[in-house]
């Protein structure tokens, strides 16, 4: 069995960059409401953002050995997406690992578990989404898997899928859908601008969204 797959197809840098200025919620809606990661996995601090291709890591519970390996093989811009096999009450990643990640150009970390040295990492500016902070240490004794399909926060993530995270949470977009989702996202943004203009003119959301039909079908009674 291969534990670490070092080579996988990543989306082009140009394609990834075109998602930088879109919100996670907008992309999620444009994609057909797919890929929303469990909202209990949150940004370490307000304003933290992730945008980049996934490098997946399956850790052994309370063991961060494979995260160290991931930092060794990650390419600039990669987002390390890590599962802890359900053991979230440990600090799998800290200040020293963040220092290494930044030196190697890693784009960020999304982990279904805890991290520690939270204040120091925020000050450094390394973007992390996690279950929270936890001072409990981890071992470096057990193998896991890198760049295999991963179940992360209720979403299946494959290496090279787009990871997009902001204050609203994380959305995962399959690599083979990026072009179509990008187009749908642009269209949605334009339509939202048009709706916003009408709302500023005083038109109600009921009229814009044609909700009278919904109310009628539900038998709503007004007096």
Are 167 and 109 part of one and the same domain? yes
In a domain, 5, yes or no: no
Number of independent structural domains in the chain:
2
Q: Where are the extended beta strands (E) located within 28-142?
A: 42-43, 50-58, 79-83, 108-112, 114-115, 128-130, 132-133
In a domain, 57, yes or no: yes
Here the CATH number for the domain that contains residue 108 is 3.50.30.40
Taking the CA atoms of 142, 146, 148 and 151 in sequence, report the sign of the dihedral they define: positive
* Average pLDDT along the chain: 97
Distance CA 76, CA 7 (A): 14
Q: What are the tens digits of pLDDT across the range 92-112?
A: 999 999 999 999 999 999 999
Q: What are the tens digits of pLDDT across the range 66-79?
A: 999 999 999 999 99
Q: What are the tens digits of pLDDT across the range 119-165?
A: 999 999 999 999 999 999 999 999 999 999 999 999 999 999 999 99
Residue 132 — left, alpha, or beta (φ > 0 → left; ψ -120 to 50 → alpha)? left
Share of the chain above pLDDT 70, in %: 100
Are 102 and 161 part of one and the same domain? yes
Torsion angle of C-alpha atoms 42, 44, 45, 47, degrees rounded to 10: -60
Question: Parallel, antiparallel, or unpaired: how do β-strands 128-130 and 145-146 relate?
Answer: unpaired
Are 79 and 133 part of one and the same domain? yes
Q: How many CB atoms lie within 10 A of CB 11?
A: 18
In a domain, 223, yes or no: no
For position 83, what pLDDT does the model report? 98
In a domain, 1, yes or no: no
In a domain, 7, yes or no: no
Q: Which domain holds residue 72?
A: 13-176
Q: Which two tokens stand for residue 87?
A: 């053991």
Are 157 and 197 part of one and the same domain? no
Are 162 and 191 part of one and the same domain? no
Give me the helix-helix angle, 65-73 and 95-103, nearest 10°: 20
In a domain, 104, yes or no: yes
Are 67 and 22 part of one and the same domain? yes
Q: With H, G, I as helix, E, B as strand and everything else as coil, classify residue 115.
A: strand
For position 67, what pLDDT does the model report? 98
Provide the whole-model pTM. 0.94
For position 11, what pLDDT does the model report? 98
């Amino acid at each position: 069995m291969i534990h670490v797959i070092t080579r996988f197809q990543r989306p082009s840098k140009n394609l990834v960059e075109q998602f930088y200025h879109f919100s996670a919620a907008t992309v999620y809606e444009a994609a057909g409401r797919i890929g929303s990661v469990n909202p209990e996995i949150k940004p370490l601090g307000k304003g933290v953002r992730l945008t980049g291709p996934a490098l997946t890591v399956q850790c052994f519970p309370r063991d961060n050995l494979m995260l160290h390996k991931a930092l060794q093989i990650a390419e600039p811009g990669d987002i390390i997406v890590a599962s802890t096999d359900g053991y979230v009450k440990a600090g799998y990643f800290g200040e020293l690992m963040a220092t290494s990640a930044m030196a190697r150009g890693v784009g960020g970390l999304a982990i279904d578990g805890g991290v520690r040295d939270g204040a120091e990492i925020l000050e450094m500016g390394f973007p992390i989404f996690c279950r929270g902070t936890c001072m409990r240490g981890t071992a470096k004794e057990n193998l896991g898997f890198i760049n295999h399909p991963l179940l992360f926060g209720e979403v299946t993530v494959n290496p090279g899928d787009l990871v997009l995270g902001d204050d609203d949470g994380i959305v995962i977009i399959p690599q083979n859908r990026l072009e179509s989702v990008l187009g749908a996202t642009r269209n949605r943004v334009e339509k939202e601008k048009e709706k916003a203009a009408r709302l500023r003119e005083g038109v109600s959301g009921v009229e814009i969204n044609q909700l009278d039909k919904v109310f009628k079908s539900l038998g709503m009674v007004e007096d």
